Amino acid sequence: MSDAFKAVGLIAFNLEVTRMGSELSKLPRAFDELRIEYWLTKLFSRIEKIRELGYSSYTDLEADQIRATEIWMSTELSLKEKIKSAIDTCRQRTMAMEKKLEPLRKSKDMFDGDLRVLDPLGKELAAYKAEVIDFISQIRGDLAPLPSLLESIEQRVSTAETALQLTSMAKFKLKEDEALLIALKAKDMNRKTEGVLTFTNQRIMFESLPIKKKERQLLLEKPVGSVAKITKGRVSMFEPEGLCIEFKQPSDPKLKFGMTRDRGCADLAVQYFGIITSGKIDEELKSGVNVSTRRRFKELAAKYFAGASFCRGKCKECGSIVSTPMKTYTLDGGPTIGLFDCPKCHKPFRVVLAPE
């Protein structure tokens, strides 16, 4: 074999070994979506956080989180151990295959000019990958409709978190009866200016994001009622996904915003404009989150997902924050109480986790 031919073969060998290593490392992570308890705990914390920060939209979040929790609680005993066992097995098999792959990484010593030396491991990896995909598919079927419900909650919470983060330094202030809905990174193609496009239930605004200057500029502020339509489409040769905003007054120029950096944002903006103009948003905001739903939400978190951030307690003696209560209980017709033990001063204390 010529040196050139062997060099090309060695490159191909190294690339294939690297690909196998990458595929192998993904297998344990494939089970992440089945870590339902962890997922639910985080969602309880995140939903509560966006409410604390004043995000009042998505009024059905708490109800959907309760529904997801109750679905999990009804199937938990039969599936929890099955999932844990599968994850443990996956880790063990991944480690065993990694040991077989490790010598192959020293390709200069292992490569003899024949790529078929990788076939046995490649077949083993492909077969195991198929087993993992099949198992996850089966569990998703057993958990239905929980995975899709959790994905829906996750998507809405992420949208809210992004909106809060992008508007945390905003120049404008919300009015008393105004609610933040979405905020998206966008580029005003008319001004060639990068910034943040914000929708509330009353206004559409665009702020510049100066690279050097810390202070933003409010470049667009229009009532929702002044907008004739918002459509998705190509706004320039290099911006295939964007928004076109047309106003009812002929004197207001048509605006174009590029949004290629965040796929799906243009669709989200069009969707929200439709919901706003339909009056659905105002109806939801007027009713708000049901008080009993909020109470049930906090009660479930306190009883079964004590790792949620708002289920922590602060020691009255030394001020230490204790993340998980030893015990929770609900008084008849009253609040849910968490009993904590301070690891620093070793004194027990109680905290109201869910009010009446």
Mean pLDDT of 235-258: 90
The residue that leads in pLDDT, 336 or 229, is: 229
Mean pLDDT of 321-346: 78
CATH number of 167-278: 2.30.29.30
| pLDDT digit string, tens, across residues 74-114 | 887 778 888 888 888 998 999 999 998 888 776 655 566 67
Mean pLDDT of 56-71: 95
| pLDDT digit string, tens, across residues 287-319 | 999 888 988 898 888 878 877 777 777 888 888
Place of tokens 């009253």: 334
Q: List, in order, residues 6 or more apart from 225 with CB less than 8 Å away.
A: none
| Percent above pLDDT 90 for the chain | 46
Instruction: Identify the three-state secondary structure at position 198.
Output: strand
> What is the residue extent of each domain of the chain?
3-160, 167-278, 293-354
What is the C-alpha separation between 253 and 266, in angstroms, rounded? 19
| Percent above pLDDT 70 for the chain | 93
pLDDT confidence of residue 130: 93
Q: Name the H helices within 167-279.
A: 265-278
The residue that leads in pLDDT, 90 or 324, is: 90
Cα three-residue angle 302-73-332, rounded to 5 degrees: 45
The residue that leads in pLDDT, 236 or 279, is: 279
Cα dihedral 101/106/109/115 (nearest 10) = 50
pLDDT confidence of residue 158: 96
Using CB atoms within 10 Å of the CB of residue 310, give its burial: 0 to 12 exposed, 13 to 18 middle, 19+ buried.
middle
Q: Is the pLDDT of residue 189 over 60?
A: yes
Highest-pLDDT range among 124-128, 315-319, 348-352: 124-128
What is the C-alpha separation between 83 and 140, in angstroms, rounded? 11
What is the C-alpha separation between 251 and 193, in angstroms, rounded? 22
pLDDT confidence of residue 155: 95
What is the C-alpha separation between 38 and 272, in angstroms, rounded? 30
pLDDT confidence of residue 113: 63
pLDDT confidence of residue 107: 60
Indicate the fold that domain 293-354 takes in CATH.
SH3 type barrels. (2.30.30)
If residue 217 lies in a helix (H) or strand (E), which one and from where to where? strand 217-223
pLDDT confidence of residue 40: 93
